[in-house]
Structure 1
Amino acid sequence: MSPAGSTEAVSVRVPGKINLQLAVGPERDDGYHELSTVFHAVSVYDRVTVQPAERWSVHVTGPYAHRVPTDDSNLAVVAARTLARRRPRGTKVDPVRIDIDKRIPVAGGMAGGSADAAATLVACRELWALDHVENGLLEEIAAGLGSDVPFMLHGGTAIGSGRGERITPILARGELHWVLWAGEGLGLSTPEVYAECDRLREVARTPVPDPAPSGELLTALRRMDADAVGAVLRNDLQDAAVSLRPVLAEVLDAGLDLGARAGVVSGSGPTVAFLVGSQAEAIDLSVGLAANGPMGDIVRAVGPVPGAQLVQHVRPTQPPPPPTRPGPLGPVTG
């Protein structure tokens, strides 16, 4: 383990996710909804670097940096401090500086905050040489941080159950090609979308069965058949997201009119994921959306990809700059 003041740092790359299925069941006693979801990690990445420091801090760069908190509410900081508190007794750890290169859309339904938390857990375990911290403990900590964090440790394609934190990997061969649309300033809070889903169901008196994974989707994923997968994409939160942000209906219509095999709002939105059959189709759709669709960031991606992965140990040539906008982060306790 490196002492405080060392130039040693650890970098981890972590992808975003989309939901190929999101079946929302009844509300539970704890306020969450019972879920059955199929997570799919895609090649849109954040990079998280941690290094020893005199105090806890987080610093964010990249196109979405202005939308990420840099105080102690940042989930990456919460992840680092939680691992520090729950480390094996007798193990010494130092505070860390966390640098996030933010490329995953914020509040877009792609689990960007959860991805950064998962990457921070992996990076801090490496930096602090906590090799004896078993994956089970890391996953337990991840589940306590948020419903999507455990999946971001694994990546690939997986079923999520409970509130999404119980992960069962899916055996899938091949890859799928996606075009992702993210509208600037359209961020949706997850609680807001779930509340709207409940409201729409109450108005329509829609029965709410217990959620279960789609057998048709699991069969299609075994072959990675784009048309078969596209035919069974499902998100029970999509109507709620469209109700709150009507422009999403225009985006979905535009993508389908331009040749996408299928389109779906990812998670609680507002990112829209369009499924295409090849890289060439992805390029054509990207160009078409940029020219004819509602204004937004457009990114081509493939999936599935692995979850949080160590990139390398790095040694900066200069000392890190002093913290900017530090939050009220205290010393390690426990």
Structure 2
Amino acid sequence: MSILTPLRRGAADRSAPRRPRFRGATRDLPLAIAFILPATIGFGVFLVWPTIRGIWLSFTDYSVFQPGKFVGLDNYTTMLADPVFWSSMRTTVYYVVLNIAVQTLVALVLAVLLSRLTASLWVRGIVLTPYLVSNVVTALLWLLLLDYQLGIVNELLEWVGIGRQSFWGNPHLVVPTIAMVNVWRHVGYTSLLIFAGLQTISPQVYEAAKVDGASEWSMFWRITLPLLRPYLAMVLIVTSIGSFQVFDTVSVATQGGPANASNVIQYYIYNVAFSRYDFGYASAMSVALLVVLSVITVAQYRLSRAGHSDTN
């Protein structure tokens, strides 16, 4: 065989027409669009458009009884001078701090226990069960359990000698009570997110640490927490956004009372919009809340370095 044969073959191959590189991708494009289109339409109709319209309404005096006219920054000026708005924001921040701190800590402990001590799907399902209960049902359930006269919790407190507590009527207890109720409902879901992060940590890392004589406590601080950082950052961002939007428990159990002690910002926005029919001012407060959540999300993402993993 001539030594030029491979060269001729290569030249012939280069001269042959090539198959389009993206033919497969083009063929799958209609199917991909069919899958993406419903979610895209829903996202645009129920999220993008209401957001754009809400921003526009914040610059008007729109109400149900009149079309509204452009008033510029008047709603925002009113918001900055509104003491109830600032009180509601302080109450919301207090609730968010309590809810996130307790929920993240308890969820982290539960996730580690589920990962290290048991592989039972039944146990994991039981932990997740409260999250399957709606917010309204959860609020009604705990409204009865914590009732001052008939609640079983107060019966137990009186039996052990602590005395009955007005969980829903005491201005100093009402926000922690709401926070603990929502921790009870959401901690299973949060622990499941952290548990998913734990599954990405190789068991060989723990085995090597045990060979070196590391204790469980040392491995938790030196291995588990550092490698969980991106997942914990994601959990903090998700729980922060959800906590700022607390509404159901307040609406069902306290209606913002006693004496506005639980009047969180979402409930105040609801009252302004649907009790006073001042949709322009309510939209302005909603836009302010959107800005606050955006700033907090970006700050948490950057400070926690959520986009970088210690596993690399």
User: What is the TM-score with the length of structure 2 in the denominator?
Assistant: 0.25
The structure where strand makes up a greater share of residues is 1
The structure where helix makes up a greater share of residues is 2
Q: Which has the larger radius of gyration?
A: 2
